[in-house]
Amino acid sequence: MNPESNKKPDIIIVDDHLIFRQGLKAIINFEEVGSIIAEASNGEEFIALLSGLKPDLVLMDIDMPGMNGFDATKKALELIPELKIIAFTVFSEEEYCSKMMKLGAKGFILKSSGFNELENAIKRVMKGENYFEGNYHQKNYHEIATKEEVADQEIGDVPIKTNKKMIFFPWFVPKTNSINT
């Protein structure tokens, strides 16, 4: 990324849900948080994009068909070590965050977060900071990333679960409403 502090980052969205990618692209463009330069529906598509594009930041889903977010993160950082990756997922379990940190992700946020959380994560990661939402507060980053059991895990150790009640765009839901499905 250009060192100019006001330059918006070039972003690739990697997620297997088209409507999620389209909505995320629309809100990021509308709010002028960054410039979406490409989208990929899985890790293979994303890695192929890296041969012709130089993104500043990647918003990476974890559970995708084919190459998942763990493997795609590992491969991408082997190709472009300075690439900044934020895991953007439905999985709130600590092992997912730990795995992504071990692989080199600079951030971890949940898809149930509001847009302000995403915007904050993007800005902080682009400043060279780490950003881990929720139970993964900044003060716990080192502790989570260096747990002994994490150091011994392989990429495929974390089971991929399916969450059928995913809310894609919580920032569009008024605070007075609640969603119970």
Q: Residue 30 belongs to what H/E stretch?
A: helix 18-30
pLDDT in tens, the chain (181 residues): 444 456 899 999 999 999 999 999 999 999 999 999 999 999 999 999 999 999 999 999 999 999 999 999 999 999 999 999 999 988 777 778 888 889 999 999 988 888 999 999 999 999 999 998 765 444 444 454 444 333 333 334 444 333 333 333 333 333 333 344 3
Pick the CATH number of 10-170 from 3.30.360.10, 3.30.420.40, 3.40.50.2300, 2.40.170.20: 3.40.50.2300
In terms of Cα–Cα distance, which of 63, 12, 66 is closest to 40?
A: 12
Distance (Å, rounded) from C-alpha 37 to C-alpha 166? Answer: 25
- State the pLDDT at residue 96: 80
pTM of the predicted protein model:
0.74
Distance (Å, rounded) from C-alpha 150 to C-alpha 10? Answer: 31
Coil, strand or helix at 132: strand
Contact 144, 122 (CB under 8 A): no
- State the pLDDT at residue 95: 79
